[in-house]
């Protein structure tokens, strides 16, 4: 297996936030794809709060603006380039960056 150091970007948004016609999290994933980021995953939260300290939860019948996290892992250069491009998008709650070690298993050999 090959081990690389890369950067994980986590973008925290409200599920109800929009960018044009689509949800903000979908727009960010599309934007990342258009800029040749290796991959992105959206994680939908069941509970959370941000700066306002207002609790968003699925525990109530009509929950609003649940948390969503877009997770991206790529090279430092690509992630920081994307970060610059995202700076013009409003309604992003928080962005974190951290260095991660990425293992690249052998290419789909089917062997353990």
CATH code of residue 12: 3.30.70.120
Q: Do residues 27 and 19 touch, judged by C-beta distance below 8 A?
A: yes
Residue 52 lies in a domain: yes
Residue 35 lies in a domain: yes
Q: Kindly indicate the confidence band of residue 3, based on its pLDDT and cuts at 50, 70 and 90.
A: confident
Give how many domains the chain has, as a whole number.
Answer: 1
Residue 75 lies in a domain: yes
Top pLDDT among 90 and 78 is at 78
Residue 110 lies in a domain: no
Residue 70 lies in a domain: yes
Q: What's the pLDDT score for residue 55?
A: 62
Q: Tell me the pLDDT tens digit for each residue of 24-70.
A: 999 999 999 999 999 999 998 877 766 766 666 666 656 677 889 99
Provide the domain limits for residue 87.
Answer: 2-104
Q: What's the pLDDT score for residue 22?
A: 93
Residue 109 lies in a domain: no
Residue 80 lies in a domain: yes
């Amino acid at each position: 297996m090959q081990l690389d150091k890369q950067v994980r970007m986590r973008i925290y948004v409200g599920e109800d936030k929009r960018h044009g016609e689509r949800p903000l999290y979908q727009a960010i994933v599309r934007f990342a794809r258009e800029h040749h980021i290796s991959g992105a995953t959206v994680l939908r939260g069941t509970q959370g709060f941000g700066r306002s300290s207002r609790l968003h939860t699925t525990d109530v019948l009509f929950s609003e603006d649940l948390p969503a996290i877009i997770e991206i892992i790529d090279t430092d250069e690509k992630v920081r380039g994307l970060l610059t491009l995202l700076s013009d998008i409003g309604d992003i709650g928080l962005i974190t960056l951290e260095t991660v070690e990425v293992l690249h298993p052998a290419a789909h050999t089917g062997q353990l």
